[in-house]
Structure 1
């Protein structure tokens, strides 16, 4: 693509035309190759402008910069290089990437999911429903990325816009017509999804998380709400909103330019669940909608997954599926990794791995476990830890949530990152101690899992919370391989 053609699609402060050809877009100078456009922008921890010369040396034919000084220097020293000065680096990267990759976002009907809890499961469910009737999809989320059936690991919940658009382009080439994305508050705030036309926007809930980044709940909410205002595009055609959540009610009130679909268990929701029955490995309810009712059976477990099923069902209906098609897809849907994932065993008790890493998610997980053991009189044993270099204020709250609902708490390390694991544990332990519940402290997560499982007896349920699908533990020295499911399976096998 000619640099001058790219320029016509970017909002610039000033620019210089050149005879350069642009074959790709990169924001990491280490990935720059011949014919690439290098996007140099200031970030939270580094300034990409300091790598401009390296990018040019590696073959970059054009540069987008948010530095007027670098723009002037490039005009003097690299007259043959295409250059543009932009006010918003990430917006310009999105605009340039869209142009270079052939505007793939215009060929996909995009559903975006945001909220604190439930994003991953809702996205998986919706994509499964769309695929069940033969539609090819792109899925971008926390656990996996899917490109028209091909499964890849996901390094981030929501990648940078350049990477999203490359994935979209691959999907379109493979015949995809739908895309489903988890959209994190960081991604919305940092404009990683800028310029993506969202057809269906989904709001699951909002509870305290990421305040180390956003500072306040209002800022956190404002970041999420951007999805429903439009991210450099018109507002979504349809807004699917959990109106049982107080922040969801605020989203619904403000979504006056979208077709609003309310879901929830409280009266007044457009999509609701009645005649609910639950047991481990199965949830049943009657889905009530303005368009009729249908019986839903799912292998997912618990009240929280009723919300996820309602969100996915409402969104799938907005994308043209019938209620009967939705019910069939819900019944055939597979387990989502690390989301109430039952580890197979012959022990007589149940071991569950779940990603719950906020006090609200942990409380919901424990409530579900309590419901499942009520009839047999079993106990709830909860293992959890708190992440390092993240919001410290939620640590005692997570401790209280674990202590209030559990019979036994095992407090351990999660992803301590740059912090002292025992200092993190001490802050969470204060919350557990307020409840007076028995608590075993074991810093080593593998030994803690072994302790939790060996503490169980027939009829109990052991919850291994916090890491879910993750395959590494992030220590001060860096990530090391670690898988809660694999560790639990090894302990259980040793007990046979």
Structure 2
């Protein structure tokens, strides 16, 4: 590809003379630039890529796209023969250039984006599974891992930068993928990481307190989510699929309709919300759920191995989304029994012990309430206890720490407060901010900053019939300390602790 072809669809404020220089890549990280790359220098939240233009040029960059008028002018003097482009929005330009370089893969993919505080990961996995059951090849982008037409790849970010997203899409299209299912974080929406990806479907799961270290207010957090639906920054989706049980959905529905989207609602069938896709005669079982699915296109009995009301909502969202993507109703219903739990989301750890151990990603107060409520349902008939281990991440929203403490305390019989990715903060300081919420709940609790020791302590406390919840990290494979990350897998640590307590092999 030549420079002129690459920049044809990039919205620019100024450019130099046309150039036919050959382009072999597009990069926004100067460390990844190779001979023939175009470097997109853009301002970010923590750094300014324009500071690294000289490094990119020294590594072989043959063209520069910049959102700095100063840098654009300086290049005319220092590198007059290097083609350059001045743009107003660096991330938009990155997406436009990447789309062109990777052959516009977005044009052959039906794209579904899922946003919300909780449930994004499970909902995207379920949507992908339902599409795969209908023999659709897919790309999945999310927190745990990426899927590229059946290949599993490591996930660097919940929603990657547009350049990396377009490379994933191009790889998937080359392997026959026709569907893109992605988690869309509020950070990504605010920063413009999904520019040039026109979503066919946009799904909203819920909105609860989180990420205020970035957004500062709940209004700003919600405003970022709304960008997926209202057509102001990104094209409005063809269909918006909204959780009618969440109060924010009414505003999203209005915004989506005004932008020209069709709106489909889902929920648990409560009279106040009046969803179109809902669960009737819901029965929560230790092995999963049973309910009657009622929709405008049919009614069916559903048996799912995914436990709890939260997963009923996730499943309803996925069913509505897959139907909106053209999967017929009968295929959807036939596929439900084969759906499997997502790694790190209500994931059991079994060494033959007479109590239940669950690893879950719950890391907000709302998610902890949902998690402990589900555990309470499981122990109700056995008269067991709910034992909850959790912590709060460092360098993140401090205001949710006592709220999480209160949620854990109110939903549990015994709480173990520990560390969860303290990052640069002092673990003891984080624990001190959690404790007022735990103490106010009146629950019996202990504090142990070492997470491995805390897991051992929680499991040693358990008796037959209890449920032990190990919350916060879920699928994560590291603990991030001030000194750097160390390998840490809650499920493996729990399994090792169970064995040390005398329980046998894994079932």
TM-score category of the 2 structures, normalised to the smaller one: over 0.9
How far apart, CA to CA, are the structure 1 residues paired with 2:113 and 2:133? 19
How far apart, CA to CA, are the structure 1 residues paired with 2:8 and 2:40? 16
CA-CA distance at 1:232 after TM superposition: 4.9
SS in 2 for 1:20: coil
Structure 2 unaligned blocks of 5 or more: none
Match of 2:107 in 1: 106
Structure 1 residues 400-443: Cα deviation after superposition (integer angstroms, max 9, x where no partner): 00111100000000010010001101111110000111111000
How far apart, CA to CA, are the structure 1 residues paired with 2:35 and 2:317? 45
CA-CA distance at 1:159 after TM superposition: 0.3
How far apart, CA to CA, are the structure 2 residues paired with 1:71 and 1:289? 56
Name the count of aligned residue pairs.
496
How far apart, CA to CA, are the structure 1 residues paired with 2:312 and 2:497? 31
Which of residues 301, 304, 309 is equivalent to 1:298? 304
Match of 1:471 in 2: 477
How far apart, CA to CA, are the structure 1 residues paired with 2:493 and 2:375? 21
CA-CA distance at 1:279 after TM superposition: 2.1
CA-CA distance at 1:320 after TM superposition: 0.9
How far apart, CA to CA, are the structure 2 residues paired with 1:78 and 1:295? 68
Structure 1 residues 303-331: Cα deviation after superposition (integer angstroms, max 9, x where no partner): 00000000000000001112221122221
Structure 1 unaligned blocks of 5 or more: none
- Asked if the contact 1:20–1:81 (Cα under 8 Å) also holds between the matched residues in 2, the reply is no
- Asked if the contact 1:242–1:249 (Cα under 8 Å) also holds between the matched residues in 2, the reply is no
TM-score when scaled to structure 1? 0.99
CA-CA distance at 1:79 after TM superposition: 2.3
- Asked if the contact 2:9–2:97 (Cα under 8 Å) also holds between the matched residues in 1, the reply is yes
CA-CA distance at 1:233 after TM superposition: 4.5
Q: Does 1:402 align with 2:404?
A: no
Q: What's the RMSD between the two structures over aligned residues?
A: 1.0
Match of 1:363 in 2: 369
Which of residues 340, 346, 355 is equivalent to 1:349? 355
Output aligned runs, 1:387-466, within 5 Å.
387-466=393-472
Output aligned runs, 1:307-322, within 5 Å.
307-322=313-328
How far apart, CA to CA, are the structure 2 residues paired with 1:188 and 1:326? 30
CA-CA distance at 1:447 after TM superposition: 0.4
Structure 1 residues 19-39: Cα deviation after superposition (integer angstroms, max 9, x where no partner): 312121100001001111101
CA-CA distance at 1:248 after TM superposition: 1.6
Q: Does 1:12 align with 2:15?
A: no
Q: 1:196 and 1:230, CA in 2 relative to 1: closer, same or farther beyond 3 A?
A: farther
Q: Does 1:287 align with 2:293?
A: yes
Structure 1 residues 241-282: Cα deviation after superposition (integer angstroms, max 9, x where no partner): 001101122211221111110001123100000121122332
Match of 2:117 in 1: 116
Match of 2:226 in 1: 225
TM-score when scaled to structure 2? 0.96
Question: Is the deviation greater in 71-80 or in 485-494?
Answer: 71-80
Which of residues 241, 248, 261 is equivalent to 2:264? 261
How far apart, CA to CA, are the structure 2 residues paired with 1:39 and 1:420? 37
Structure 1 residues 115-163: Cα deviation after superposition (integer angstroms, max 9, x where no partner): 0000000000000000011110000000010000001120110000000
